[in-house]
Amino acid sequence: MSRQPTAEPSAGMRFVTVVTYGRTGSTALQSALNALPGVVVRGENYEALRGLHRYAQSIAETADRHHAGRPDHPWYGSARLDPVEVLTDLRAHVVRTVLRPRKDTRWLGFKEVRYTPGHFASYDDLLDYLLFLGKLLPGLVYVLNVREAGAAARSGWWPDDPAAIATLETSRRWLADADADLSRMLGPGRSALLDYEDWAVRPASVLEAFARLGLPRDDDAVLDALGTRLEHGPHAGRSA
């Protein structure tokens, strides 16, 4: 008896990601997103999906340039490569093993802070990766979060970095540019830029951004999450 094909774990699901750098209040935004009904946003993963980007790109380039089927050809097997199938399999893997939706999950995603010149050689590299995430997770919406460089540099681990101000100024500019480019390339409702200095004193700006992205609404829960002092480090709580 033949097996019936099983539905993708992402079938009917929408995706969201928080794009930022360290010490910008991004964990509070992660908490606010998780306060929304049917939304699960996981924390950082050491930019694990960067490796998938390189892998998918190599497969696509091989399939595009070489079409060898003979075992005596240096690109033997390239004729059978299917980049779309590879991307579909990667999506299922990421959803099942990294993002791990619950039964009632309708929106799924993650936060990452590794969007600085130390992690990307150029703005074009960063934008290319963000666009890849949109292919891996179809319909992905981007919450880009920035903070004034001097304030971020005085927080957390940045005081030990002599190049902190320059790094953070570049990072802030890159994310502002990414918001404009993603909106231009993908259309309205796909990207929202938040500024910590704004939403820390006017949290309603977070509600407005979430609404523009089409996220579910629970304004009281979001405001409560943003107002809760968060613990970081080894004594922070763990949940499924």
60-117 pLDDT, tens per residue? 999 988 887 889 888 888 889 999 999 999 999 999 999 999 999 999 999 999 999 9
Indicate if the pLDDT at residue 231 is higher than 60: no
Q: Are 68 and 76 in contact (CB under 8 A)?
A: yes
The C-alpha atoms of residue 164 and residue 182 are separated, in whole angstroms, by: 26
The residue that leads in pLDDT, 161 or 234, is: 161
Homologous superfamily assigned to 14-45+83-226: P-loop containing nucleotide triphosphate hydrolases (3.40.50.300)
What is the reported pLDDT for 155?
Answer: 81
What is the reported pLDDT for 230?
Answer: 53
pLDDT digits (tens, 9 = 90+) for 136-182: 999 999 999 999 999 999 987 777 888 999 999 999 999 999 999 99
pLDDT above 70 covers what percent of the chain? 92
For residue 18 the two structure tokens come to 């928080």
Of 7-16, 54-63, 121-130, least confident by mean pLDDT is 7-16
Residues 17-49, buried b or exposed e (16+ Cβ, 10 A)?
A: bbbbbbbbbbbbbbbbbbbbeebbbbebeeeeb
Give the mean model confidence (pLDDT) for residues 50-60.
97
The C-alpha atoms of residue 121 and residue 156 are separated, in whole angstroms, by: 24
The C-alpha atoms of residue 134 and residue 42 are separated, in whole angstroms, by: 17
For 220, phi and psi rounded to 5 degrees?
-65, -40
Of 3-12, 122-131, 174-183, 227-236, least confident by mean pLDDT is 227-236
What is the reported pLDDT for 11?
Answer: 80
Mean pLDDT of the chain: 91
What is the reported pLDDT for 188?
Answer: 96
Of 22-36, 48-62, 64-78, least confident by mean pLDDT is 64-78
What is the reported pLDDT for 158?
Answer: 79
Q: Would you place residue 236 in the very low, low, confident or very high pLDDT band (cuts 50, 70, 90)? A: very low
Indicate if the pLDDT at residue 40 is higher than 90: yes
The C-alpha atoms of residue 136 and residue 53 are separated, in whole angstroms, by: 9
- Residue 16 DSSP SS3: strand
Domain-wise residue ranges, the chain: 14-45+83-226
From the list 121, 116, 186, 187, the residue with the least C-alpha distance to 147 is 116
From the list 177, 23, 232, 16, the residue with the least C-alpha distance to 113 is 23
For 173, the enclosing helix (H) or strand (E) is: helix 164-186
